[in-house]
Amino acid sequence: MNLYVFPVAPNPTKVRLYLAEKAAGGAKIQLAEVMVDLREGEQKRPEHLSRNPFGKLPVLELDDGTHLIESLAIIEYLEECHPDPPMIGSDAMDRARVREVERIAELGVLFPVAHIVHATNSPLGLAPIPEMAAYFRGVLPRALGVLDRLLAPGRPFVAGDRPTIADCTLQAAFQFARFGKVEIDPSFENLARWDRDYRARPVAKAVLSL
């Protein structure tokens, strides 16, 4: 299998963190990472459009030549093929909670952060849209507050006592915020602690560049 990615881009980073966590836990997922340079627009070239008609990353190319083109679908597929260590919980309620927190991280943090970055200083060269940046700056604290409260009892990871896909999505968002100079309000002290501790782990260091 091939995984088409680009460093720091949040959706590829989410999958790369997931793979690093799985490998650290002993899973043997055989795939090669292939870079598609977003700064050069390689994602819009015919070669990549034949993998993903939306011209986006990540893409997982399976050994039969077919493709998965959504980051969460890629993670869910790999998790079903390699259930240990569990990264989406280990019973029905646990899985529901992990998915719940992951969706909050994606829709409430990653999505607003990505829109602020692209509306202010887009690495893809998109035109600035100040009203969009202002709107998403207003939206962002709500999910940050929810996640901060989840971490308040001293939880090491955002969905419990061990890393899950919710941490992968949230850290992918935080790295993109660092890249795009989007401030994550430091008064969310539990999130700041989680961010510091998560990034200090060798697994995270192997993937993150910012």
166 CB neighbour count, 10 Å cutoff: 27
Q: Are 6 and 196 in contact (CB under 8 A)?
A: no
Per-residue x/- track, 3-32, ligand GSH (CB under 6 A): ------xxx---------------------
The residue type at 195: D
The DSSP code for 64 is T
Decide: is 165 part of the binding site for ligand GSH (CB under 6 A). no
Three-state DSSP at 178 gives: helix
Decide: is 112 part of the binding site for ligand GSH (CB under 6 A). no
Q: Pull the structure tokens for residue 171.
A: 């850290």
56 CB neighbour count, 10 Å cutoff: 20
Shortest Å, Cβ 114 to ligand GSH? 7
Q: Are 164 and 102 in contact (CB under 8 A)?
A: yes
Decide: is 120 part of the binding site for ligand GSH (CB under 6 A). no
Decide: is 168 part of the binding site for ligand GSH (CB under 6 A). no
Shortest Å, Cβ 206 to ligand GSH? 19
Q: Which of these segments, 20-28, 49-57, 79-87, 181-189, binds ligand GSH (CB under 6 A)?
A: 49-57
Decide: is 169 part of the binding site for ligand GSH (CB under 6 A). no
**H runs (alpha helix) in 25-110:** 46-49, 71-81, 92-105
Shortest Å, Cβ 129 to ligand GSH? 15
Binding site for ligand GSH (CB under 6 A): 9-11, 38, 43, 55-58, 70-71, 124
